[in-house]
Amino acid sequence: MDVAYAERFERIPMSRAEFDQLPEKVRAEYVDGVALVTPPARGDHNGVGLELAIVLRQAFPDAIVRYDRGVELPTGTLRIPDVAVQIVRDDEAWSPNLPVLVVEILSRSTRSEDLFRKTDDYRRSGIQQYWIVDRAARTLAVLVNAGEHWDIGLSLTDDSPTGSIEVADLGGVELDLTALLA
């Protein structure tokens, strides 16, 4: 299967075997028999992700904080959260170890995927927290897995830019939206 480096978000039907043969330079997730090929992040997307990864690493020095690394969910779905916090270290291309939290930074091209399909995938897989950063709206929402739905654990905005949240058995982390989006 010939899949080029994506210039825009694309959905390409293929088997898992075909997906596994994609070149490493192709950034793609695998969901329900479809490769979701995404272009490189634009603007400050990576900067926000890196800042969050640093904050999480400082708050949880015993955890494994990953940036832009693939995770294999129990359903066989392959996702690439912008940031993930794991308890168990591994060196697999697609980590089989479920993160305790994942972060997605919304982009125009993947916004609906991040807000709808990933939300369900992460909840059903048992990931404890899903953080959604919306740079355009200047918000950070921390969703806490309540089984059949997500509860809002923390909501940061320009009007209320700071707060803290407990993460699994790791402890708490202080967040400052203004600093993250600077």
Question: Tell me: the pLDDT tens digits for 45-99?
Answer: 888 999 999 999 999 999 999 988 899 999 999 999 999 999 999 988 899 999 9
User: Using CA atoms, how far apart are residues 133 and 141, in angstroms rounded to an integer?
Assistant: 7
Mean pLDDT confidence for 128-150: 97
Contact between 127 and 141 (Cβ < 8 Å)? no
Number of residues assigned to the chain: 182
Give the Å distances, CA to CA, from 154 to 9, 79, 124, 150. Answer: 30, 24, 20, 12
Structure tokens at 53: 């990864």
- Domains detected in the chain: 1-40 (no CATH), 42-181 (3.90.1570.10)
Mean pLDDT confidence for 138-155: 97
Return the residue matching tokens 């091209």. 109
pTM of the model: 0.87
